[in-house]
Amino acid sequence: MVIRTILARISLGLLTLFIVSILVFSAVTMLPGDFATSILGHSATPETVAAFRAQLGLNQPAVIRYVYWLGGILHGDFGRSFSSSEYLDSGTARTVVSLIAPRLWNTLFLAGLAALIATPLSIGLGMLAALYRNSLFDRFINLITLTTISVPDFFVAYILMLFLSVRFNLFHSLSNVTPDTPFLERLESCALPVMGLVLVSLAYMMRMTRASIINLLASPYIEMARLKGVKPSRIIARHALPNAIAPIAIVVAVNCAYLIAGVVVVEVVFVYPGIGQLMVDSVAARDIPVVQACALIFAATYIILNQIADIVSIITNPKMMHPR
């Protein structure tokens, strides 16, 4: 029963990813402007523009281009960049994978570091807030998290930059990293972007953990544990938290997906060389293959992490593990 349900969820995820690929290709194709015209200039003759479009493959129908694009993705080939300097100078182009790979690693490093900090911190604060419900600590944490949720990501980033970089000069305002950057120097450069991501994601995960624990504390088996004289901290750690894994796993997966796919704003603010910054630059340059690949990677991240959360919730649900 459980395996059948998991396989059904995986199949649904693959179908969703296929539909998303159609939407991504269609949306990018309908972007205003034309790459050939923007590169050659408006003074170029129609024959020159047509020849350049044919060289790029833009003269083919959208359906044909989508089939070739999807077939290439299934073989690990996302195509070639339109706007790379090698293409414009010598007629050869860098592959999209070669452009995205180092940027994706930078984004994963940034998101992973933020997740390593935010996840245990949010679960711990959520447990404490549930344990001391309606206390001064609980109200203070709720005030901070509600404020963080209400403020846009870019505003949080600029506030951090203003106070921790401009006013007090504690961290770098721009996160310039290269593949040769030492690990400790990379951590120092990523400090402000990580803080921005942690503040935003921490609020959601902490409030979800608190709500799940409070809901479980009203259960009959929790009341029985209290009547037996079990310590409140032991009730939270041994009885309430294991049964709250499923909803917490869902919100953690969603926020991890946000950390990867939602870093666009943070990367642009701090000029961090990640995949979000690459996507913004590619949209400005009308580099269609790179934009499509970045958008598909973001969508796949959301789908995969949500599927993992669903599978975890199924496995941790006794009704699914022991069907009647």
Digit-coded pLDDT (tens) for 85-108: 444 544 556 888 888 999 999 999
Q: Which of 298, 111, 104 is closest to 190 using CA atoms?
A: 111
Distance CA 287, CA 322 (A): 51
Mean pLDDT of the region 151-176: 87
On the question of pLDDT at 8 being above 80, the answer is: yes
Distance CA 266, CA 243 (A): 34
> Domain 99-321's class?
mainly alpha
Distance CA 195, CA 190 (A): 9
Residue 54: pLDDT band with limits 50, 70, 90: confident
Distance CA 149, CA 168 (A): 25
Least confident piece of the model among 9-23, 52-66, 238-252: 238-252
Residue 19: pLDDT band with limits 50, 70, 90: very high
Q: What pLDDT, on the 0 to 100 scale, is given for residue 86? A: 46
| Angle in degrees, CA 70, 304, 150, rounded to 5 | 115
Mean pLDDT of the region 189-215: 86
Average pLDDT of the chain to the nearest whole number: 82
Confirm if 272 and 190 have CB atoms less than 8 A apart.
yes
On the question of pLDDT at 75 being above 70, the answer is: yes
Mean pLDDT of the region 226-255: 77
On the question of pLDDT at 247 being above 80, the answer is: no
Looking up tokens 């994601």 gives 201
Alpha helices for the chain (secondary structure H): 2-29, 35-40, 46-56, 62-74, 85-90, 96-131, 136-150, 153-161, 183-189, 191-217, 220-227, 232-234, 241-243, 245-261, 264-270, 275-285, 288-315, 318-321
Between residues 258 and 196, the one the model is more confident about: 196
Q: Cβ-count burial of 301 within 10 angstroms (0-12 exposed, 13-18 middle, 19+ buried)?
A: buried
Residue 62: pLDDT band with limits 50, 70, 90: confident
Mean pLDDT of the region 8-25: 89
Q: What pLDDT, on the 0 to 100 scale, is given for residue 15? A: 92
On the question of pLDDT at 22 being above 90, the answer is: yes
Q: What pLDDT, on the 0 to 100 scale, is given for residue 18? A: 92
Between residues 2 and 272, the one the model is more confident about: 272
Q: Which of 98, 127, 106, 76 is closest to 260 using CA atoms?
A: 106
Distance CA 256, CA 118 (A): 10
Q: What pLDDT, on the 0 to 100 scale, is given for residue 318? A: 56
On the question of pLDDT at 65 being above 60, the answer is: yes
Between residues 144 and 324, the one the model is more confident about: 144
Mean pLDDT of the region 117-124: 88
DSSP 11-75: HHHHHHHHHHHHHHHHHHHT-SS-HHHHHH-TTS-HHHHHHHHHHHTTTS-HHHHHHHHHHHHHT
Measured in whole angstroms, the distance separating CA 277 from the mean position of its chain's CA atoms is 13
Q: Which residues contact 174 (CB under 8 A, 6 or more apart)?
A: 270, 271
Q: What pLDDT, on the 0 to 100 scale, is given for residue 322? A: 53
Q: What pLDDT, on the 0 to 100 scale, is given for residue 1? A: 65
- The alpha carbon dihedral of 222, 224, 226, 232 has a sign of negative
> Domain segments of the chain: what residues?
2-96, 99-321
Q: What is the largest CA-CA distance in the chain?
A: 87
